[in-house]
Structure 1
Amino acid sequence: MSIQADTSWRKTNNIASRPWAGGVREYDLLKELTIGVVVVGLLVLGVSAIFGSPDEPSVSFKAWATAAPADFVATASKELGGTSDTAAYGPPYNSTPDASQKIGPVDLQSLSGVRLPVDTANDFVIAPLETLPSLPAAVADWTGATDQQRSDWAAAYSSALWASPDNDPARVADGDYGPVPGLTGALLEMARQGSLDGVLQGGGTFYTLDYTRSLLFLGDGSYFQDLAASQHLTGDQWGVMNETGDTPGQSWLWLFSLLYQVEPFKSSPNADALVVVTMFVLTALLTLLPFIPGLRSLPRRIPLHRLVWRDYYRNR
């Protein structure tokens, strides 16, 4: 008896078992499939042909050293002198004083500490040269000098490069540059031969997904930035491109890019930290939307869904 009562209750209260009493209309599944696959597919191919990203080859140190050797040498000398953007970036790469970005008194950039330590002189120049079968004599001269002497050599050579015609290393005026010209020249030749890419990517391991040092070194020069500008990818150009392939870029990045174009982000020295915090707050609001009084009622107060489903709501 109890089993029959339970079955009767389920039949009465199970909404899924009740017959549909609303309106019906014919539905052509084949037509829907044709529109969804063929028509939309053709539209995607057409739009991709017009707006697709160019399929550019990967940027390498070999390409940099071949196309812009003067910029490569100038960047290497800055890495040696500790005056590049990476050397002065602060956490998580180094502990450069007053380099971190803050939100008021909160130093967000330093919260995790120096988790990926990068010594630009050693990691980008000396360590790669030490992997060569024949160690350049300039390496021993550099490692045997004091920190002050190294800094003076690198600063003098960087200034001389800047003053030389076309920033050409071959036309630098005579001066006391120590082993810096020998180091940068050997690194340039190493890059031209294509061996620097493998050494810097993941510490020379064959299979790696760690491109941190390679990207930092590339980003310190002008060559990489010029490539980005030529493809309209710099911060003020709003461009987005995939790393590989000719498919469109990541559309979700538009909001990040937008924030950098407006105040107070645009002119703030703490722009990165401000954008990260802002995106965190916006993401939290979106995630908690069903639980926030007022915000969760917006769909009812702004009935855009009725416009989208106007056929359904027309007679209701």
Structure 2
Amino acid sequence: MGQAPVVYGQSTRPPRGDYSRASEDYTCPQDYASYTEADHDTYRRLYERQRALLPGLASQAFIDALPSLGASDRIPRFEEVNERLYKATGWELVGVPGLIPEVPFFTLLANRKFPVTDWIRKPEEFEYIVEPDIFHDLFGHVPLLFNPVFADYVQRYGQGGLKAQGLGSCEMLSRLYWYTIEFGLIREAGQLRAYGAGILSSSGELAYSVQSPEPQRIPLQLERTMRTRYKIDTYQQTYFVIDSFEQLFEMTAADFAPIYERLQGLPEFGADERGAVGV
């Protein structure tokens, strides 16, 4: 059957991934036999580098959950991770060929299925890759799905995404995903730590987000976050800070429809615009 590739943002090349393998919901089996020894070595080196950087920078909840991911010397099999993940929080991983449209993405999350790109970057892309690959998705996202509160937040986000799509407000909600699930910071025992997957899977932005004096760090406010644009090709200049995963879950219990309506007439904040007192 197959599906059409998906493009978010601007790129000089077509999206990677074999979308001819994708079913109607954009999922596809993990083609484990296609991974080469070089692919497994790339994963091993990426994992070792990132794991060494975590202490003092990553959320302790993430560090504690990382061993649940399983193998670090080769690309994990989704079914093996799923055996542990489903028992822990009722979530499971599903393979996808790359970026997928909003409605299938939200639908998967709402049903506690996390889409994981099944290809890995080339050795020459070791330092940076534009699109999320299997290392970003597995290492960055999956460990915190073993955390019950965070896992419930991600499901609730998916449910909210389906509602936002019907209201034409996906852009505002996507900013909440960006600034929490991808690039969120948390205050643990009085110290800033990273929990967003985009930070945790980046060797450079991990230390930058927590320690650099350059970016502004703002206590998470729903409306401020939804009004803030973001960039996909540089380190963030604005980070939003939470006090707990419970804060995220409770925040998304609200009906966002009145918020979307109210924000329609308000100006947006640029990704690097100073608009609030930092922390």
TM-score using structure 1 length: 0.24
Name the larger-Rg structure: 1
Structure number with higher strand proportion: 2
